[in-house]
Amino acid sequence: MGGRLRLHQSKTGYRAGLDAALLAAAVELKPNERGLEAGCGPGAALLQTALRAPDAQLSGLERDPEALRLVHRNIEENQLAGRVQAFSGDVGLPFSRLGLAPFDAAFANPPYFDDPSAIRGPRPERTGAWIADDGLKGWIGFLLKSVREGGRITLIHRADRLADILSLMSPKAGSFRIRPVQPFADSHAKRVLVRAVKTGKAPLVLLPPLILRDREPDGHRPEMDAVFRGEASISWD
């Protein structure tokens, strides 16, 4: 964000990186709208989204006490307490238990694996960020409940889970817009950004991919540099 965001993270636990920056750049929030991040961790995507949408109200949900402590510290240090909050909660529990009105938009970077045997075990303090106890189905079910009719859901996830994402969302959401994320122009997509609208009926749109880097001469792509500095957003058009 061009130095606009100061973020404290765990020394040994999961630390946010590129995925959080891409997710925040893809979230759309209009003035006075309310947005929710499920599994906000220390607040990397949550606070970037808040800086990108200065007239919106943001909430973060996090079950890990240490991550929750860090996100509260980060909210205060970035002077965002007036319109950003974070609270304890678990996507494995019904959204209704939070006692909150449905949001205009929800976003998440769900854990990429459902099966602990699919990867070599991370450090215990990173397990929650890599393994979804309730599976991708649980995360998407929670997100669908957390937004109003016509509300928007934005996800970043592994490209090879795109079919699962669409299958799990399609009974309650539509108007899908999908943007693959490729490391280089000649590489396969490793990530995918998905935006859906609850009760949306518009046809699915597959958008041109985001190309993160060039191989020559220095690897930088000006349009992506602008995104990461917070000077541009990821378009859904």
Q: Is pLDDT of 110 > 70?
A: yes
> Are residues 56 and 29 in contact, defined by beta-carbon separation less than 8 angstroms?
yes
Lowest mean pLDDT across 13-22, 42-51, 54-63, 169-178: 13-22
Q: Is pLDDT of 124 > 70?
A: no
What secondary structure letter does DSSP report for 131?
Answer: B
What average pLDDT does range 42-48 have in this prediction? 97
What average pLDDT does range 130-153 have in this prediction? 87
| Alpha helices in the chain, H assignment, sequence order | 18-26, 44-52, 65-77, 127-130, 135-146, 162-169, 222-228
What secondary structure letter does DSSP report for 175?
Answer: E
> Are residues 192 and 179 in contact, defined by beta-carbon separation less than 8 angstroms?
yes
Beta pairing partners, 177: 195, 205
pLDDT band at 121 (very low <50, low <70, confident <90, very high): low
Q: Is pLDDT of 14 > 80?
A: no
pLDDT tens digit sequence for 177-218: 999 999 999 999 999 999 999 999 999 999 999 999 998 878
pTM for this model (two decimals): 0.89
Give the chain's largest Cα–Cα span. Answer: 53
CA distances from 102 to 31, 105, 144, 171, 199 (A): 17, 9, 10, 18, 14
pLDDT tens digit sequence for 65-101: 999 999 999 999 999 999 999 999 999 999 999 999 9
How far is C-alpha 184 from the geometric centre of its chain's CA atoms? 22
% of residues, the chain, pLDDT over 90: 84
Which amino acid appears at position 194 of this protein? V
- Helices 135-146 and 162-169, interaxial angle, to 10°? 50
Boundaries of every domain in the chain:
18-228
What average pLDDT does range 25-44 have in this prediction? 97
The whole-chain average pLDDT of the chain stands at: 91
Beta pairing partners, 211: 182
- Tell me yes or no: is domain 18-228 CATH 1.10.1060.10: no
> Are residues 92 and 134 in contact, defined by beta-carbon separation less than 8 angstroms?
yes
Query: CA 183, 184, 188: angle at the middle one, nearest 5?
Result: 70
Please report the pLDDT score of residue 113 as a whole number.
59
Q: Is pLDDT of 122 > 60?
A: no
